[in-house]
Each structure stands twice: as C-alpha cells, then as structure tokens.
Amino acid sequence: MASTSEPAAAARGGGLTRRRRRRLVLGGEYGVFVIAVGLAIALADWHALHINFLNWSVARDLFPDIITIGLRNTVAFTVSGFVLGLVGGLVIALMRLSSALPFRWFAMAYIEVFRGLPALLIFIFVGTGIPLAFPGFELPGGVYGQAAVSLGLVAAAYMAETIRAGIEAVPRGQTEAARSLGMSQFRAMRTIVIPQALRVVIPPLTNELVLLFKDSSLALFLGVLLSQRELTKFGRDAASQLGNTTPILVAGLCYLLITIPLGYLARRLEARQKRGRR
Amino acid sequence: MSAIEIRDLRKTFGELEVLRGIDLSIESGEVVCVIGPSGSGKSTLLRCVNLLEEPSGGTITVDGVELTDPDVDIDAARRRIGMVFQSFNLFPHLTVLGNVTVAQRKVLRRDRAEAERVARANLERVGLADKVEEYPEKLSGGQQQRVAIARALAMDPAVMLFDEPTSALDPELVGDVLGVMRGLADEGMTMVVVTHEMSFAREVADRVVFMDGGVVVEQGPPDRVIASPEHERTRTFLARVLDPAAARVGEVDV
C-alpha cells in the first residue's frame, strides 16, 4: 500500500486535475463567445438594421411574387439542372469505369475541368459562348434551357464521382451472379448494379441538390426577363428598387426554407442506410 | 458426348500458375465432387467452366459448345450453365420472386406469368414456396442459398456448378442445402460440386476428384478415393478434413 500511495499523491497534487482543466477551458470558451456577441450587439446600429433589413411593410409587399416568380424559378432551374446532371453524371461515371481507354480519359478530363472551374464561368460560357460558337443555335427553353445546361454541366462532374463510388461499392459477386445467369455486361449493369448503386448514393445526391439550389442564383448572369427571375435576382432587384435591403433577407429565408429540410432529409436517409446495412 | 469436356486447361494470375493442365470429362447426369486443400485451384477450375475466369490455355466444351472459342456467344452459353456461389450473391434489391424471375424475363424473354410460374415451381422444389415475397436479408443463409439454387434452376440449365455452396453457412443450416442438392442429383442433374462436405461426396457423388497444386492428383468412385486413396497427398488431406482435431501444431501444411 505504501508504495502505491506515493505516486497517487503526486498525481493528485501540484498540476491541474482533468476536471479542473475541463472547467477552465470551457469557461474560457464561453467567456470569449459572450464578449464577442455582447460587442456585436452593443456596436450595431439597431435602428438602421431594423429599417433596412427587417422592414415588415417592405417584406409584406414582396409576397406573393417572391414565391410565385422567384422561388418557382429557382426550383425550376435547380430541378432541371439536377435531372440533366444526374443523367450526365451516370454517363460520365460509366465512361470512367469503361474498359476503353479514350472513354476513361474523356471522363477524367471532364470531371477535373468542370469541378475545377467556378460555376459562374460555366454560366457565362453557356450564356455567351455557345451562341457565339454556334450562330443561330439556341438551347431549347431559352434561359431555362441555358440555366439547366449550365447547372447540369457542373452537377454532372460532381455526381459522376459519387455515382462511380456507388457502382464500385456494389460487390463483384453481384455482377458475377448476373453474368452467370446469361446477362450481358450491359444488362447486368443496368438491371442489377446501377439500381443498387443509386440507392447507396441517394444521400450524397441530396446534398448535391442543396448545392445546386444555391448555385442556381448564378442564373442572374444569363440576362433574364422579369418573369424569369429567380430568388436572388428577384431580391436584388426589389432591394435596389425600394432602396431597402429587406428583400435580400426574405430571399435568403426562402432558400433556407428549401435547403434546411433537404439537408435534414439527406441526414435521415444516410442514417437509415447505415442502420439498414448492418 | 460428355456434358463437360475440359482439355489441358491452364490458368495463370500474373506469375502464379493456378491450373496446370487439367483434363476432365463429365458425363451427362453425373455428379462430380471436387475436393482438395484451399489454393489447390478447384474454385478457379469451376469458375473457368462458365468463363467467370478466362482460361489462359486449353479448351472447355459444355453441352456441345466450345466456350473457349472467341466467336462463341458467351451469354447464350452461360444460360445453359447454372452456378451457385459460396456467398449466395442474391440480388438484395429484389424479392425472392424477383431474384428468380429477373433473368428469365430479361434474358430468356419469358412473359411475367410464365416466369413466375417457373419461379414458383422451382422455389417449391427447394422448399421455399412460402418466402416468395420476402427480401433476401430477411432469410437465413441456408434459405438464401436455396433461393440461389432455384434462381439457377429456373434457367433450365444443362449442368449445375456449385462453388463451396455450404462453406458460408452455420452448421445447422448445411443439411437443408445438401438435401436440395441430393434431390437434384436424384433427378439426374449433371453437377460439379466443389465442397468440403465429405459425407455428401461419399453418399451422393458418382466420382470424386482430388486436386492439389493446380493438377488432378487422383479421381474415382468415392468409395475408393475417400476410403482408400492411392496418393500420399490425398491421404494427408483426407486425414486433416475427416479428423481436424488430430492435427499437431507444426505438421506440414496441406
């Protein structure tokens, strides 16, 4: 006993115990946080903020147009871009996994280029580059077509990598079983592997949808008509017209109305999948 | 004409020579069990028979079609060869009925009613008629393997290949699967079974083939190969398998 009490005493005395150290660190963190918030509250011009950002009469006047025009177009751009991106991403993913070298090269180049460029550049390229390169050619749907293609080009690059990972996550035995039943490589891919792969990638694709919602704001660079404005453009126009920033805040809330539930859904799907896989 | 004719089959993975000249012919209606230590090439041999592994040399003829001919439609040839895997490989996104009908419909182009009729008949055959609507994850390993057998049978194969069909099963579930296989053998199905189940080999097989080091060491009726093997390697292997507890640490690995 005597031999063990000596180091035990040394451990308790002198320096900080774990409990004391944790209290000290937590106390410091809360302290910094409270001071920062306090400073922000004390220094902000609440009157100006209230008039410019939280002006209820301005906010009221935005409805229903901000929903029926702004949000509606945002959703239209995003969903059409997502569908194009999904189809394109699947094709690129299959090319990436192809045994033909040129296909793999093309897919890798595509993914690197379109993931590496700012989405804004793609919008400008589609909006001005394509009409210049192919005179007389017009994407079907006008601005809607241009936005869908721009978003789809970007989304396809990200989704291709996600879908490829999903396809590779399907065990090889699945393909072998399908082939042993006489299915061709293509048939096995289409009927057995891809349905399983898509199930795996639904949560990450939902996150991709959230990203697209935000990127759809870049459509304002396409030169849209009044009825084609999406949320950001709508909010910005209203803000400069009224000389008040409240519309920006309302537009932001409209985004969150969509993106927060979507993010929640993605997390739920992911959790359910983890439980299901065992 | 033999159901399966294998001539001088060779398979290498890089430097590794897994099959070093296998000659084997299997008659229609014959049940052949392939035994041997792990790494002896017996699974590779089986996987070569439906070209899941591409042979490096030699020829394989199944049901009169030479699979190793580059101009043969391998998808058509595989329809006549049923395969059952160690890890079942059921399609987890399809129900039991979906698993048994999908290839009938997409490959054989049977209509839904016909495919389901064949599926139900074959699920009946393996004793799982009541599991039609279940998903594979709800089934025990033994049930999954029997669904896999029904799935292969639904294609009306000329031969059935079994790659260690009971090795992934809990011991108490092995009997159900072996029972189904015994039933198939009694019906006259041509079967090649890679297995460690010596009692099955002894009672059901017409012929036992012992492989080691990528060659067929000896073959013959089970009474002879299992009860009184001619080669030392076969004796050592069988001693190990029949009485695993008797092995001593440090004994030469088979």
Contact residues, chain B, for A183 at CB < 8 Å: 75, 103, 106-107
Residue A7 pLDDT: 61
Contact residues, chain A, for B93 at CB < 8 Å: 195-196, 199
Contact residues, chain A, for B155 at CB < 8 Å: 181-182
Of A174, A182, A199, the CB nearest to B79: A182
Task: Give the whole-angstrom CA distance, residue B238 versus residue B33.
Answer: 14
**pLDDT greater than 70 at residue B146:** yes
Peptide bond between residue A64 and the one before it cis (omega within 30 degrees of 0): yes
Q: In 10 A of CB A104, how many CB atoms? A: 14
Residue B253 pLDDT: 52
**pLDDT greater than 80 at residue A123:** yes
Report the half-sphere exposure of A64 (CA within 13 A, side-chain side). 2
Does pTM top 0.95 for this prediction? Answer: no
Domains of chain A: 77-224 (1.10.3720.10)
B76 touching A (Cβ < 8 Å): yes
**pLDDT greater than 60 at residue A1:** no
Percent of chain B with pLDDT over 70: 96
Residue B254 pLDDT: 45
Of B89, B103, B151, the CB nearest to A174: B89
CA of residue B131 relative to chain centroid, distance: 24
CA angle A116, A119, A121 (to 5 degrees): 90
Task: Give the whole-angstrom CA distance, residue A222 versus residue A219.
Answer: 5
Contact residues, chain A, for B52 at CB < 8 Å: 176, 179-180
Kindly provide the ipTM of the predicted complex, given to two decimals. Answer: 0.92
Q: What is the mean pLDDT of residues B36-52?
A: 94
Identify the closest residue of chain A to B83 by CA–CA distance.
Answer: A180
Q: What is the mean pLDDT of residues A209-230?
A: 88
